Structure 1
Amino acid sequence: MQRWIILTVASAAVTGIAAAVTGIAAPGPAADPAPEAATTVTLGDATIDPKLPGRVRVDVGYLCSVATEARSLTVSVEQKDPQDSSSIAFGSSRTAEADVTCDGTPQRRQIVVQSKTFNWIPGVDAVLTATVANIGATPPAAADAKRAALAAPAAPTTPAAPSATAGPATPSATADPATPSATADLSATSAPSATS
């Protein structure tokens, strides 16, 4: 009976030591990798170019995370003329893959969309669509669409003309005796009369 108790105690001790050694040697459960940011895209304002009314500038925010895979950013704009339903301005712009930054941080861009048909009309609703694709990301693509009035271009700023009352007075051409009038110059160079 004593042998059986000693064997049981010895066996339990060996099992405990083996479990402790196994616990030290075996790594714990692997930590989950940080989740990658989801692919997203959001449309902002759209403003007609002040110098080229066939172009509209669309603000776009996007986020993608896999820089080693194919990626793209596409924006399209469509606008119907309220006076003529058969007139539709339409344009689309795709950003080059090298210019689409996919590093898991939010990005902002202003995309220029050229109408392939008619000039854009300020203050009239248009349908804006944006798509970002990032192969290998989750999800691999995202889109946003909205109806918005295209903003009128900002008025160009021109320097203010000098006021007539500001600064020193400018003498008029007739008030300056040193400056001959245009009629005096013409009379001085007129041809001699036939009677002289």
Structure 2
Amino acid sequence: MQRWIILTVVTTAFAGLAAPARAAQEAADPAPATTSVTLDDATIDPKIPSRVRVDVSYLCSVADDARSLTVSVEQKDPEDTSSVAFGSSRTAEADVICDGTRQHRRIVVQSKTINWIPGADAVLTATVSDIGAAPQAAADAKRAKLPTGPTTT
């Protein structure tokens, strides 16, 4: 019994000495940034009303696998509910920068059906995905009115 008590005291003392070392190691190696994506502004292109420009910001950590950034927009015509503008755009894997810093992109989404309607509600969705990561994707979605953007030259 006495040996067991001595062994327990010695083991506890060594564990107490190792705890600060583990805490220092964890502080030196912070957890990797989690993937997140945020939708910002969206405006209809004044020159080509079938295009909408969507501003997206995202953050993802360095990864061995390529990432994918997809933005989609859907808008029903308020006067004709059977008429729906829809489009999506996927950014090339090489263009999705994942280095642990927040990135900002302007994505152009082309409607595959009808022109976008200024001032009408639209549903915007953005997703950053990585098949090899856990969790596999981060997404943001929101409802917004699409204004016509400024004319650019």
Instruction: Place the TM-score, normalised by the shorter chain, in its bin.
Output: 0.7 to 0.9
SS in 2 for 1:86: strand
Does residue 31 in structure 1 map to residue 25 in structure 2? yes
Does residue 121 in structure 1 map to residue 117 in structure 2? yes
* 2:42 partner amino acid: A
Higher strand share: 2
Number of equivalences: 131
Greater relative contact order structure (CA < 8 Å, 6+ sep): 2
Q: CA deviation at 1:108?
A: 0.5
| Equivalent position of 1:52 in the other structure | 48
What does 1:142-153 align with in structure 2 at a 5 Å threshold?
Answer: 142-153=138-149
Structure 1 spans left out of the alignment, 5+ residues: 1-22, 158-196
Q: Is the 8 A contact 2:57 2:105 kept in 1?
A: yes
Structure 2 spans left out of the alignment, 5+ residues: 1-16
Quote the RMSD (CA, aligned, Å): 1.9
* 1:31 partner amino acid: Q
Q: CA deviation at 1:136?
A: 4.6
Question: What percentage of residue pairs aligned between the two structures are identical?
Answer: 72
1:142-169 CA distances to partner (integer Å, 9 max, x unpaired)? 0010000001132579xxxxxxxxxxxx
SS in 1 for 2:84: strand
Look at both structures and tell me which one has the larger radius of gyration over its CA atoms: 1
What does 1:17-166 align with in structure 2 at a 5 Å threshold?
Answer: 28-29=21-22, 31-32=25-26, 33-154=29-150
Say if 1:148 and 1:60 are closer, same or farther in 2 by CA, change over 3 A.
same
Runs of 4+ in 1 over 6 A off after TM superposition: none
* 1:146 partner amino acid: K
SS in 2 for 1:42: strand
